[in-house]
C-alpha cells in the first residue's frame, strides 16, 4: 500500500494506480476530457493537471502513478488558470458561440426548433445539447470568453454510413473513439490521420466505414464527449428522461443494456458498462417504433382485414382452438420471454396438442457456456461461424479476459472479417471442414484430401500443442462434428432461450410440423414460415405483418415493452424489464396466452408443463455437386433477425451492413453464369426453388452461393443447386 496526500487528505492507494483514479475513488473532483475509464490514459487534454509538492511544473494526473509520500494539490489558482487556458484553446477549434453567449437562457426559451439545422454552429444546433461534456466543463471551469480566433474546419458531415453520422468540425481530438476502437474492440477502424493542425480522426484513404469493414458496434459514439459522433436514429428525438436496465433479446448472448426513454418513446439503447454489438446498440429503438408494426388485433372477414377489439379476437381464437384442439400445430419463436414460453407449453398441454415446434437451431448436447471455466493456455478452433458478426461481445471476452493471450484458428470455406484477425485460417473445400478437423487432431499420418496445404495443417498442429483446446461452432452451420475427447465442444446457438427450449423439449422440427397432414389449425407465435399447403385456420401472434395469409393477427409487444426473463448462452436467467407501455393495443405474449387459457377454462396456476421429447430434424445427406446441380448452396443461420423477421428487411442500416435478403455469389462464378450484382437469380435444387437478388462477393468460394436462412425459404439446407438468371 502507498500513502499519499491529496488536497490535505491522507489517502491509501495501491501500487500502479494513477493519481486521478485514486482521487476519483475518494470523491475528489479533477476535470477530465480525454480520460475514459477502461482505456489506456492518453494525457492529451491537460485538464487533469495537478501540482505535486517539490515539482516545479504541474503534471497530468491521469498518467501520473502514485508514489509514497506524494503531496498533491488539485485545486489551486494556478491550476485553475492553466485549465481554463487549455480548455479555451480546445474550444477555439469547436463551434463555441452558444457556450459563451450571455443570452443562453432566453434562447432556450424561444428557439426550440432551431436545433434541426443541417450544420452545427453552436450548441443550439447540436443534437447533443445538454448531454455534452464540453458544456459541463465550461460551466465548471467558469469560462466566459474565448480570447482566440475561432477556426472552423469546414469539413463535410459524413452521412454516407448507416447508423451514425460524423461531424468532425466538432471533434476535439481527445482520441477516445480511436482508443476504444483499437484497445477495447480490437477493430482499428479509426485512427488519427495527418499531422499538426491538419490532424483529424478518420479511416485509411477516407474510406467509408462500410468499405473498411466497420461492424458499427457504436462504442465510439458512446465515448464521444461532443456531438461529433451521433446516433442517427435518436439524433432529434431529444434527450432521454430516464433509462431502464434490461437485456437485449436479439441473440443468445443476452447482453445487459440500458433502454433510454423519453415520454413513451424508446430513444436509444446503450451498453450497461459492457460491450455490445450493432443489434443491441442501433437495432432496438427503430424496431420498437417501426412503422410496419401492427398494434391492433386484425380479423379476416371475407376478403378484408378488419381491426377488431381484443374480445372479438379472443372469441375467434377460443372457438377455433376448441374446434381443432389436438389438430392444432403450434410454432413459436425462441425470442419470447421464458414466461411466454411456459404459457405456450401450458396451452399446448391443455389442448393435448402433440405438435409443438420452434424455429431455433437446437442441439441435444447443449450445455451452459462457462466463461470462467477457460483456464491456462487456450486455443479456440472456430468452425463455420463468423464470430465477429454473430457473437462479437463473446469474442471480445474470449480475447481479453484471459491471462495468457489465447490463439484462434478458423476453419471455414467462407471468408469473413474474422479470418483476418485470427492466428490461422484454414480454408478447406466446401463440406470438408470435418476432414480438416480430423487432420488437425490425427495422431498418425493421414491422407490430406482437403484444399488446405499440409504446411498449414502443420502450423495448426503446432498451435494446438499442449494447450486447452475448445471447439466453437454454430450447430446450424456445421453438423456431424467428431473430435477427440480432450477437445471441449462448445456449440454456439444464435437464438436466445435455446437452453430453456432444450430443457422443455419440442415435439418436432419446423419442417416436420409443416409436412404433418393432420394439422388443420396453425398457431404461429412470432415466426412465419413458408407454407406448403392450405390450412383451415391460421392464427398469427407477432409484432410485424407475416408473409403468410392469416385469419387472425394478435399484436404482441416487443421485449422493450414487457416484463419477464430470458435465459442466455451461459444459462443465466436475465431480466427483461418494461421500458415503455406496449404501443397501441398490443399486449405481452404471456398476457395474450393467459387470456386465451382463461377462456378455455384452463387453470394455468401451479401447473408445470409436461416435458416433451426433443426431436431434431434428420440431417440431410451430404450430396455431391454433379452435372445437373453444379453449384454448392451454403445455408447459414441468420442471427440478425427478430421473431423470424430479418433485421435487414426492417431497417435500412442493417440492409446495407448485412444484406441478408441477398444471395452471395462468388465473383468468378457470377461472371461465368453472367449474373449481375443486384439482379434476381433463381436457385433450383432437388426440392428447392428460390428467387433472390444476387450480391457478388469474393467471400464465398468458387462455384458456390450463400444464403442466410429465413423461414420464408421453407425447408432449405446446404445442397447442390443450379443457378439461373431471371430475365
Partner 1 sequence: MKKVENTLREHRYQRSRIIQILQDIQVEFNYLPKEALEYVSQRLKMSLSKIYSIATFYAGFSLNPRGKHLCTVCMGTACHVRGAANVLDRIEERLGITSGVTTSDKLFTLETVNCLGACALAPIVVIDGQYHGQTTVDRVDKLLDKYYEKKDK
Binding region for partner 1 (CB under 8 A):
182, 187-195, 202-205, 212, 420-421
CB of 380 to partner 1, least distance (A): 16
Give the count of beta carbons closer than 10 Å to the beta carbon of residue 623. Answer: 14
Nearer Cβ to partner 1, position 188 or 571? 188
CB of 203 to partner 1, least distance (A): 5
CB of 654 to partner 1, least distance (A): 24
Nearer Cβ to partner 1, position 186 or 659? 186
Nearer Cβ to partner 1, position 205 or 486? 205
Is the Cβ–Cβ distance between 713 and 689 less than 8 Å?
no
Contacts 24+ apart (CB under 8 A), 20-26: 20/48, 20/61, 20/62, 20/64, 22/66, 23/61, 23/72, 23/74
Nearer Cβ to partner 1, position 420 or 603? 420
Is the Cβ–Cβ distance between 637 and 387 less than 8 Å?
no
Alpha carbon of 200 to those of 33, 194, 204, 449: distances in Å? Answer: 17, 7, 11, 50
Nearer Cβ to partner 1, position 318 or 463? 463
Alpha carbon of 411 to those of 485, 563, 597, 624: distances in Å? Answer: 19, 40, 48, 20
Is the Cβ–Cβ distance between 511 and 532 less than 8 Å?
no
Beta strands in 130-264 (DSSP E): 164-166, 191-193, 200-202, 229-231, 242-247, 256-262
Nearest Cα neighbor of 597 from 354, 358, 344 is 344
CB of 573 to partner 1, least distance (A): 38
CB of 35 to partner 1, least distance (A): 22
CB of 582 to partner 1, least distance (A): 43
Nearer Cβ to partner 1, position 97 or 210? 210
Nearer Cβ to partner 1, position 98 or 189? 189
What is the distance between the alpha carbons of residues 597 and 604, in angstroms, rounded to a whole number?
7
CB of 183 to partner 1, least distance (A): 12
Q: Strands 71-73 and 2-6, how do they pair? A: parallel
Nearest Cα neighbor of 92 from 229, 176, 197, 222 is 197
Element (H, E) at 491: strand 488-491
Nearer Cβ to partner 1, position 182 or 296? 182
What is the distance between the alpha carbons of residues 726 and 679, in angstroms, rounded to a whole number?
8
CB of 420 to partner 1, least distance (A): 7
Nearer Cβ to partner 1, position 209 or 235? 209
* Burial of 54 per CB tally in 10 Å (0-12, 13-18, 19+): exposed
Nearer Cβ to partner 1, position 400 or 420? 420
Nearer Cβ to partner 1, position 327 or 417? 417
CB of 421 to partner 1, least distance (A): 6
> What is the per-residue DSSP string for 515-573?
H-TT--EEEEES--PPPSS--SEEEEEESS--SS--SEEEEB--TTS--EEEE-TTS-E
CB of 207 to partner 1, least distance (A): 8
CB of 712 to partner 1, least distance (A): 37
Alpha carbon of 475 to those of 242, 382, 616: distances in Å? Answer: 40, 12, 11
What is the distance between the alpha carbons of residues 595 and 606, in angstroms, rounded to a whole number?
16
Is the Cβ–Cβ distance between 171 and 226 less than 8 Å?
yes
DSSP alpha helix (H) spans, 18-103: 19-25, 77-91
The DSSP secondary-structure symbol of 373 reads G
CB of 214 to partner 1, least distance (A): 10
Nearer Cβ to partner 1, position 312 or 423? 423
What is the distance between the alpha carbons of residues 404 and 415, in angstroms, rounded to a whole number?
27
- Per 3-state DSSP, the chain is made up of helix, strand and coil in percentages (nearest 5) of 30, 20, 50
Amino acid at each position: 500500500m502507498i500513502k499519499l496526500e491529496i488536497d490535505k487528505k491522507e489517502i491509501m492507494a495501491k501500487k500502479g494506480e494513477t493519481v486521478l483514479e485514486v482521487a476519483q475513488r475518494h470523491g475528489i473532483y479533477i476535470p477530465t476530457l480525454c480520460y475514459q475509464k477502461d482505456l489506456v490514459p492518453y494525457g492529451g487534454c491537460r485538464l487533469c493537471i495537478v501540482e505535486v509538492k517539490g515539482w516545479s511544473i504541474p503534471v497530468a494526473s491521469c498518467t501520473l502513478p502514485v508514489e509514497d509520500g506524494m503531496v498533491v494539490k488539485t485545486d489551486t489558482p494556478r491550476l485553475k488558470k492553466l485549465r481554463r487556458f487549455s480548455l479555451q484553446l480546445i474550444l477555439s477549434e469547436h463551434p463555441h458561440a452558444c457556450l459563451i453567449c450571455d443570452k443562453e437562457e432566453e434562447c432556450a426559451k424561444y428557439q426550440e426548433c432551431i436545433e434541426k439545422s443541417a450544420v452545427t454552429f453552436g450548441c443550439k444546433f447540436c443534437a447533443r445539447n445538454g448531454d455534452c461534456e464540453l458544456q459541463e466543463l465550461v460551466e465548471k471551469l467558469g469560462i466566459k470568453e474565448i480570447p482566440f480566433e475561432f477556426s472552423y474546419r469546414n469539413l463535410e458531415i459524413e452521412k454516407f454510413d448507416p447508423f451514425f453520422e460524423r461531424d468532425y468540425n466538432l471533434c476535439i481530438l481527445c482520441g477516445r473513439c480511436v482508443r476504444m476502437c483499437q484497445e477495447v474492440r480490437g477493430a482499428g477502424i479509426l485512427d488519427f490521420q495527418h499531422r499538426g493542425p491538419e490532424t483529424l480522426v478518420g479511416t485509411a484513404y477516407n474510406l467509408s466505414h462500410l468499405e473498411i469493414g466497420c461492424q458499427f458496434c457504436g462504442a465510439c459514439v458512446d465515448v464521444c464527449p461532443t456531438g461529433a459522433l451521433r446516433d442517427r436514429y435518436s439524433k432529434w428525438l431529444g434527450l432521454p428522461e430516464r433509462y431502464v436496465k434490461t437485456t437485449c433479446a436479439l441473440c443468445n448472448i443476452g447482453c445487459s443494456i440500458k433502454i433510454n426513454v423519453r415520454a413513451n418513446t424508446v430513444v436509444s439503447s446503450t451498453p450497461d458498462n459492457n460491450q455490445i454489438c450493432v443489434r443491441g446498440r442501433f437495432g432496438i429503438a427503430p424496431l420498437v417504433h417501426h412503422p410496419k408494426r401492427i398494434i391492433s388485433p386484425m380479423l379476416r372477414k371475407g376478403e378484408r382485414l378488419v381491426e377488431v377489439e381484443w374480445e372479438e379476437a379472443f372469441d375467434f381464437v377460443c372457438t377455433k382452438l376448441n374446434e381443432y384442439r389436438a389438430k392444432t400445430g403450434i410454432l413459436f419463436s425462441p425470442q419470447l420471454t421464458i414466461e411466454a414460453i411456459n404459457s405456450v407449453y401450458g396451452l399446448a398441454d391443455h389442448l393435448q396438442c402433440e405438435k409443438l415446434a420452434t424455429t431455433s437451431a437446437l442441439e441435444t448436447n447443449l450445455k451452459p457456456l462457462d466463461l470462467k471455466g477457460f483456464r491456462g493456455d487456450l486455443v479456440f478452433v472456430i468452425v463455420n461461424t463468423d464470430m465477429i458478426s454473430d457473437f462479437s461481445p463473446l469474442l471480445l471476452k474470449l480475447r481479453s479476459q484471459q491471462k495468457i493471450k489465447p490463439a484462434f484458428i478458423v476453419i471455414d470455406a467462407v471468408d469473413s472479417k474474422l479470418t483476418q484477425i485470427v492466428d490461422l485460417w484454414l480454408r478447406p473445400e466446401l463440406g470438408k471442414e470435418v476432414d480438416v478437423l480430423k487432420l488437425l487432431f490425427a495422431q498418425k499420418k493421414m491422407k490430406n484430401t482437403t484444399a488446405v496445404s499440409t504446411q498449414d495443417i502443420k502450423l495448426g498442429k503446432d498451435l494446438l500443442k499442449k494447450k486447452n483446446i475448445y471447439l466453437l461452432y454454430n450447430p446450424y452451420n456445421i453438423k456431424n462434428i467428431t473430435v477427440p475427447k480432450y477437445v471441449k465442444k462448445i456449440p454456439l446457438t444464435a437464438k436466445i432461450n435455446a437452453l430453456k427450449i432444450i430443457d422443455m423439449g419440442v415435439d418436432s422440427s419446423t419442417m416436420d410440423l409443416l409436412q404433418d397432414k393432420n394439422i388443420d389449425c396453425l398457431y404461429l407465435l412470432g415466426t412465419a414460415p413458408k407454407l406448403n399447403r392450405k390450412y383451415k385456420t391460421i392464427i398469427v401472434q407477432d409484432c410485424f405483418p407475416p408473409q403468410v395469409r392469416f385469419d387472425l393477427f394478435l399484436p404482441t409487444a416487443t421485449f422493450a415493452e414487457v416484463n419477464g426473463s430470458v435465459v442466455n448462452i451461459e444459462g443465466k436467467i436475465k431480466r427483461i424489464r418494461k421500458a415503455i407501455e406496449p404501443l397501441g393495443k398490443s399486449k405481452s405474449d404471456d398476457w395474450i396466452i393467459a387470456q386465451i387459457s382463461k377462456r378455455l377454462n384452463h387453470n394455468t396456476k401451479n401447473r408445470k408443463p409436461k416435458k416433451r421429447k426433443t426431436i431434431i430434424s434428420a440431417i440431410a445427406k451430404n450430396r455431391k455437386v454433379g452435372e445437373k446441380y453444379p453449384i454448392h448452396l451454403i445455408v447459414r443461420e441468420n442471427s440478425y433477425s427478430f421473431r423470424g423477421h430479418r433485421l435487414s428487411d426492417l431497417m435500412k442500416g442493417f440492409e446495407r451492413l448485412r444484406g441478408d435478403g441477398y444471395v452471395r455469389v462468388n465473383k468468378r462464378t457470377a461472371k461465368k453464369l453472367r449474373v449481375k450484382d443486384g439482379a434476381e437469380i433463381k436457385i433450383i435444387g432437388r426440392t428447392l426453388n428460390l428467387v433472390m437478388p444476387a450480391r457478388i462477393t469474393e467471400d464465398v468460394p468458387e462455384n458456390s452461393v450463400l444464403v442466410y436462412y429465413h423461414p420464408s425459404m421453407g425447408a432449405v439446407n446446404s445442397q447442390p443447386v443450379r443457378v439461373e438468371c431471371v430475365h
